Structure 1
Amino acid sequence: MQINIQKLQSISQRVRDNKLFEWLVVSVILLSALLIGARTYVIPGSIITLMHWLDAGITLLFLFEIVVRFFATEQKKYFFRSGWNIFDTLVVVVSLIPIEHSELALIGRLVRIFRVLRMVSIIPELRTLLNSLLRAMPQLGYVVLLMFIIFYIYGAIGATFFAHINAQLWGDISISMLTLFRVMTFEDWTDVMYETMAVYPFSWMFYLSFIFLTTFAFLNMVIGIVVNVLEDEHAREKQAQDKIDGKATLDDIMLELRSLRSEVAQLKSNQGKSN
């Protein structure tokens, strides 16, 4: 029995690591996305029937892929510790439930839409990018808070000095902040600037200083935070994958080194006592 399980695990690992199988799953996810888009059009009944069978086949292939990944994992208890594995399994399980013609049909459609997100869990690079963004959120939150303060200050200044020039753009602080967002994204911002420069010739300093603070300074801060977190995430992903595959991780190596040092120190101590 043990030999059969090991053989099944070995076969599953070969299938999982096969590039052809990976590209097949990616292609099926893309096909699933196209089917979701096709359902938004008015199509003949015969095509709808074909799409229904295709959808069933896609769900079965996804189930097969989840099973392969589960059996390919050496330490099964770590499989469901991954949020992506839980997400993939839930999506597939809910897709298998026949709720298309029931009151829960809307949930079924939403689950099929979220199947496109499986592209992230299949492609490690996309998974690493998304995990990095999520981990960077706490640090980015402070950047966003500081940016809001800058927006608020400049919005109050704009509403104070430019409201009589164009109330639609600078009528109050909330509208002023929306106008500043337009300036930050360079959406016809020169038209806004030239309109106020007709009354206040030096108002260009207001816009240029705002653009420097938000578009240049804050953008570089965001890029720096994301790059640092991305590097950390690459290291964490590698360590987690090594742990799942049963390989020695950096923590294991460090622990073994400490143990070896302790043993060497003990041997030296014993040798000193014997002398």
Structure 2
Amino acid sequence: MGAIPSARSHPRTRLEAEPVPESKHRPPESELGPLAARALAIVRLRLFRRAVLVLILLASVIVGLETYPAVDDRIGGLLRTLDTVIIGLFVVEIVLRMVAYGRRWPRFFLDPWNVFDFVIVAVCLIPVGSQAAAAFRLVRVLRALRLLTSIPQLQIVIGALLRSLPSIGYVGMLLVLLFYVYAVIGTTLFGRNDPAHFGTLHDAAISLLRAVTLEDWTDLMYTQMVGSEAYPGHLPPPTEPEPRAMPILAVLYFGSFVLVGTMVVLNLFIGVVIGALTEEQKAAADRALASAAPTDADAQLERIERQLEHVREQMQGLRGALRNRPRP
């Protein structure tokens, strides 16, 4: 008997294009009738998914072209005809996906991504008058968001962002606290020299937002270093400033804020999102392995290797805990 090829000999990048994972709400194929089974086979076709992706891109391009008056005057009728055809094809796609659930078609709406697609397509079917044409165009451009459901890798990114929201909230609280402390200090130190940027607490907070995004933050620092008379700001001061040069305090204030706010706190946001993205990629890979065919030897072997790796990590943690445990 030949050796089973190792899954590691065929590495898979988790963000590579691969078949869309099956919905956990879909009934087993054994419970589907002939029509539902046929619809499911069509929905699973790679060509079907690529065709839907092309339609989404084409619909987005049409909405963009209609924003040019010259293009709309020349081929506006053709664009609207194409748009009507695309909407009809979207309806056919949604119907096929619902039929693929068989008699349990209401379970189609248990998947949030399915609800997302259904709502966008349904809104495009609402008849509107000429006065609401601009609003209708805004609704139609939302069809570009269907790329989120057509490209699994985008679903991973969205899932990672949602997973990271709690941690981002805590990092945001830290950033708000940093802004508040530095705004109070800046108002106290530089309020008289530069009342346009540090005259009030909210003015100071806006100036710090400008500094943390590195948008001409050095101009703010130079005004405090040499005084507002030698280096006036861009905004007209609400009151008459009292020029005062504070070179050392200005360098310490802005240098520490930019270092902490930009290099540390904002990088925390990036670190949190990257960590959540790694977890979401691992979860997506696990779901793909769980939905793999039982006869897929590579998928079975990769699933077992993942389980063994998880067991090894737990054993290492237990060994470390035992080594660090105080001896009686």
Q: Shorter-chain TM-score: which interval? A: 0.7 to 0.9
**Structure 2, unaligned runs of 5 or more:** 1-31, 227-244, 308-328
User: Structure 1 residues 157, 192: CA separation in 2 closer, same or farther (over 3 Å shift)?
Assistant: same
Q: Deviations over 1:202-236 (max 9, x none)?
A: 12011111112111111232122112211222233
Task: State the AA in 2 paired with 1:161.
Answer: L
User: Structure 1 residues 39, 10: CA separation in 2 closer, same or farther (over 3 Å shift)?
Assistant: closer
Let me know the Cα RMSD of the aligned residues: 3.1
Report the TM-score, using the length of structure 1 for normalisation.
Answer: 0.77
Q: Which residue of 1 aligns with 2:188?
A: 160
Q: Which residue of 1 aligns with 2:235?
A: none
Number of aligned residue pairs: give it: 247
Q: Which residue of 2 aligns with 1:42?
A: 69
| 2:98/2:108 contact within 8 Å kept | yes
Counterpart-to-counterpart distance in 2, 1:172 and 1:247 = 65
SS in 1 for 2:148: helix
SS in 2 for 1:114: helix
Once the two structures are TM-superposed, the CA of residue 78 in structure 1 deviates from its matched residue by 5.3
Q: Which residue of 2 aligns with 1:264?
A: none
Once the two structures are TM-superposed, the CA of residue 108 in structure 1 deviates from its matched residue by 3.6
User: Structure 1 residues 126, 247: CA separation in 2 closer, same or farther (over 3 Å shift)?
Assistant: same
Matched, 1:27 2:54: yes
SS in 1 for 2:69: coil
Q: Which residue of 2 aligns with 1:100?
A: 128
User: Structure 1 residues 134, 4: CA separation in 2 closer, same or farther (over 3 Å shift)?
Assistant: closer
Counterpart-to-counterpart distance in 2, 1:3 and 1:28 = 28
| 2:62/2:79 contact within 8 Å kept | yes
Counterpart-to-counterpart distance in 2, 1:231 and 1:141 = 19
| 1:136/1:229 contact within 8 Å kept | yes
Q: Which residue of 1 aligns with 2:210?
A: 182
Counterpart-to-counterpart distance in 1, 2:86 and 2:38 = 27
Counterpart-to-counterpart distance in 1, 2:61 and 2:259 = 42
Counterpart-to-counterpart distance in 1, 2:142 and 2:287 = 25
Once the two structures are TM-superposed, the CA of residue 105 in structure 1 deviates from its matched residue by 5.5
Once the two structures are superposed, the pairs formed by residues 67-216 of structure 1 within 5 Å of their partners are 67-71=95-99, 79-97=108-126, 99-101=127-129, 108-198=136-226, 199-202=245-248, 203-216=250-263
Counterpart-to-counterpart distance in 2, 1:212 and 1:76 = 55
Counterpart-to-counterpart distance in 1, 2:129 and 2:37 = 42
Matched, 1:231 2:278: yes
Counterpart-to-counterpart distance in 2, 1:247 and 1:216 = 47
Counterpart-to-counterpart distance in 1, 2:131 and 2:141 = 18
**Structure 1, unaligned runs of 5 or more:** 258-275
Q: Deviations over 1:136-177 (max 9, x none)?
A: 112111111110110011011111111222211111111111
Task: State the AA in 1 paired with 2:112.
Answer: G
Once the two structures are TM-superposed, the CA of residue 183 in structure 1 deviates from its matched residue by 0.9
Higher helix share: 1
Tell me whether 187-196 or 148-157 shows the greater mean CA deviation: 187-196
Q: Report percent identity of matched pairs.
A: 33
Task: State the AA in 2 paired with 1:149.
Answer: L
Once the two structures are TM-superposed, the CA of residue 191 in structure 1 deviates from its matched residue by 1.5
User: Structure 1 residues 235, 78: CA separation in 2 closer, same or farther (over 3 Å shift)?
Assistant: farther
Counterpart-to-counterpart distance in 2, 1:82 and 1:2 = 21
Q: Which residue of 2 aligns with 1:9?
A: 40
Once the two structures are superposed, the pairs formed by residues 243-262 of structure 1 within 5 Å of their partners are none
| 1:12/1:71 contact within 8 Å kept | no
Report the TM-score, using the length of structure 2 for normalisation.
Answer: 0.66
